[in-house]
C-alpha cells in the first residue's frame, strides 16, 4: 500500500446549491438544522454565510487532553453579547450511522472593541443569534463517500471519507 499523509480521500459532484435567508432573532445552528432537514441534505459542504449577528458563542479547543474524548474542561466557550458581522461558515454535513445528518460547522465573525475591529472564530454551537440579513449557502454533494462515525481514537464523531 502506498505511504500517504491522508486518512481518507474521495470525490463527488455538486448536485445543487441550497441558499437560505434566516429570520432575525433565531439560533443560527438551529436554523441550519432546519435547512438541512427541509431540503433533505445528507451530504454537503458549507460554501459560506453572511449577515449580522445579535450575539455569538464561540467554542475553541484550549488544549488537547492526555486522554480522549475532548471534554468541556478542554474547551473555551466565549460568549459575545454585542453586534457582530458573520464573515464565514465552513464545515460539512454528513450522515451518521443512524442515517441522521451530522452538522459540523465552524464560523468567523467580527465585532468592534473600542476603535478596533476584532475577528473571532470557532466551532458553531447553540447560542449564536441572528440579527439581520443572514444567509447561508450549502453545496449538496452526490457520489462522495463520506459519513460520520464514532472514532476509536478521538472517542467522538469523525468524518470518514472513502
Give the tens place of pLDDT for each residue, 22-47: 999 999 999 999 999 999 999 999 99
Give the tens place of pLDDT for each residue, 113-148: 999 999 999 999 999 999 999 999 999 999 999 999
Report the largest interatomic distance among the alpha carbons of the chain, rounded to a whole angstrom. 56
Is residue 1 predicted with pLDDT exceeding 80? no
Residues 12 and 144: their CA atoms lie apart, in Å, by: 4
Structure confidence at residue 153 as a pLDDT band (50, 70, 90): confident
Report how far Cα 14 is from the mean position of its chain's Cα atoms. Answer: 19
Give the tens place of pLDDT for each residue, 68-98: 999 999 999 999 999 999 999 999 999 999 9
Residues 80 and 49: their CA atoms lie apart, in Å, by: 19
Question: Residues 120, 110: contact at Cβ < 8 Å?
Answer: yes
- Domains, the chain, ordered by start: 13-145 (3.30.1330.80)
Handedness of CA 111, 102, 148, 155 (dihedral sign): positive
pTM of the model: 0.94
Q: What does the CA dihedral 150, 153, 159, 162 come to, rounded to 10 degrees?
A: -100
User: What separation in angstroms does the CA of 36 have from each of 30, 56, 64?
Assistant: 10, 21, 31
Please report the pLDDT score of residue 2 as a whole number: 78
Amino acid at each position: 500500500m502506498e505511504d500517504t499523509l491522508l486518512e481518507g480521500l474521495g470525490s463527488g459532484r455538486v448536485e445543487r446549491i441550497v441558499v437560505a435567508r434566516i429570520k432575525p432573532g433565531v439560533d443560527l445552528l438551529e436554523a441550519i438544522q432546519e435547512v438541512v432537514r427541509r431540503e433533505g441534505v445528507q451530504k454537503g459542504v458549507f460554501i459560506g454565510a453572511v449577515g449580522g449577528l445579535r450575539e455569538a458563542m464561540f467554542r475553541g479547543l484550549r488544549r488537547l487532553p492526555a486522554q480522549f474524548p475532548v471534554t468541556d474542561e478542554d474547551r473555551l466557550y466565549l460568549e459575545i453579547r454585542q453586534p457582530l458581522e458573520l464573515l464565514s461558515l465552513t464545515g460539512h454535513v454528513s450522515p451518521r450511522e443512524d442515517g441522521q445528518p451530522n452538522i459540523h460547522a465552524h464560523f468567523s465573525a467580527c465585532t468592534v472593541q473600542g476603535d478596533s475591529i476584532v475577528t473571532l472564530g470557532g466551532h458553531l454551537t447553540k447560542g449564536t443569534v441572528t440579527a439581520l440579513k443572514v444567509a447561508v449557502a450549502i453545496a449538496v454533494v452526490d457520489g462522495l463517500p463520506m459519513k460520520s462515525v464514532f472514532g476509536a481514537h478521538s472517542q467522538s464523531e469523525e468524518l470518514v471519507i472513502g
